Structure 1
């Protein structure tokens, strides 16, 4: 799939009709920047980690920003062995319409496996990546789940 054919997460959201807002800001990376630069509360921050399997399948893992991914649980949820899973290289994010610091659980590629930590189902409004490091999406967690249709598993260790 060519990069030009891939919609950015914001484009997917706009096309879906799901209500969301976008905050523009200086580029941020990680929890510290989100809390201190943007003033966002930890309990509303959703991080997305991007992985790739040895057979080139992308796996997106979305969980609260303070959580740590348990790789074995993620691999089981994604239907791959732990040995097949590696973190995606920063340059690979462009294949998903994303850039480093802007990883999002929203993606239009049908071959991407998306897994949300079960705790996301108990969250209300969340802030997540837009695909860009200088823009953050604000969306209701339940609407995000309905749009993405992820697998729901206990991912945090």
Structure 2
């Protein structure tokens, strides 16, 4: 899978990414949730989107009551850092859900697992690698 890794100062939020020159319309954020039943759910969506928790839970096959945003220490269980969450995760049982809008993003900039490295990749290659569930996650 062709991609480019860009090393930079650690990113904490979307504003930091914009300061590094990444175009907002190409930023793919990954939010990490704990699922009381089955470990973790990763939600990937355009950086300007906001997750509808009910839709995410339904897509992930669980209930809204069982989802909670993961804490920084939870990310370590996935081999990730705060500010660097990635839609690519090799931990067994992790459910990955992409917002339907992601399909139209072209080349995206997403987390690598580290806050100081961003991955640029064609979204079709990313989809092929991750094989996510798709749903309308944004509210």
Residue deviations 1:47-100, cap 9 Å, x none?
000001113510000000000000000000000000000001100111111011
Aligned match for 2:118, one of 136, 151, 154: 136
Runs of 4+ aligned residues of structure 1 deviating over 2 Å after TM superposition are: none
Find the counterpart in structure 2 of residue 60 from structure 1. 42
Find the counterpart in structure 2 of residue 3 from structure 1. none
Aligned pairs (5 A) from 1:118-133: 118-133=100-115
Find the counterpart in structure 2 of residue 34 from structure 1. 17
Consecutive unaligned residues of structure 2, counting only runs of 5 or more, are none
Paired residues, what number?
A: 139
Find the counterpart in structure 2 of residue 73 from structure 1. 55
Aligned pairs (5 A) from 1:4-153: 18-36=1-19, 38-153=20-135
1:136 and 1:123 map into 2 onto residues whose CA distance is 16
2:13 and 2:67 map into 1 onto residues whose CA distance is 22
For the aligned residue pairs, the C-alpha RMSD in angstroms reads 0.7
2:88 and 2:9 map into 1 onto residues whose CA distance is 21
Q: TM-score, normalised by structure 2?
A: 0.98
Q: TM-score, normalised by structure 1?
A: 0.87
Decide whether the 8 Å contact of 2:36 with 2:66 is kept in 1: yes
Secondary structure at the counterpart of residue 101 of structure 1: coil
Decide whether the 8 Å contact of 2:84 with 2:114 is kept in 1: yes
